[in-house]
Structure 1
Amino acid sequence: MPYEKNKQQAFQAAQQGYEQAVDAKKEIIVSSSGYGKDIKHLQQEVGEAKMQIENALENASEHQRAQLLQFQQDLQSIEAEMNEDI
């Protein structure tokens, strides 16, 4: 049972990290004076989310794996968009 609990906790951490990265992206206002700081924060959130997703993928169920892979794709899109703006 501890294995199942750890698997669920890893998935939840990855999901939370993903949501924080998405929230950070939504908070960016290109014309604001804090744009550079916002981008740096977004980069940090995306990096942390990617690490959490990688950890969760190691022992994810099939359903969790599909969601985690979607999270990864979404984060890659955010990164690509972020790199275009820099």
Structure 2
Amino acid sequence: MPYHKNKQQAYQAAEQGHKQAMDAYAYSQMIKEEPGYGRQLKHVEEEVNEAYAQIENALETASDTQRRQLEQFQQDLQSIVNEVNND
């Protein structure tokens, strides 16, 4: 039972990390022309890095269904990185 609980907790942490990174990025896009934009981009970078780490951790024990979702989370984060690098 602890294994299953840890597996679920790892997935939930990755899911939450993904959401926080997506939210931080969305907010950065709303304030793109404002003075705090650079600081917000740094926050986005931190959230993305943390989410990547959480996803990698969750992938170690993920079920097939979870793995597909986690891989989608990784693609979403890569899209953020690509957008930020192209700005």
Tell me the TM-score normalized by structure 2: 0.96
Alignment of 1:1-86 (within 5 A): 1-28=1-28, 29-85=31-87
Tell me the TM-score normalized by structure 1: 0.97
Shift of 1:30: 1.1
Q: CA RMSD in A?
A: 0.5
**Which portions of structure 1, spanning 4 or more consecutive aligned residues, are displaced by more than 3 angstroms?**
none
Aligned residues: 85
- Secondary structure of the 1:60 match is coil
Specify the code of the residue in structure 2 equivalent to 1:80: N
Q: Distance in 1 between matches of 2:85 and 2:3?
A: 38
Identity %: 62
Shift of 1:12: 0.1
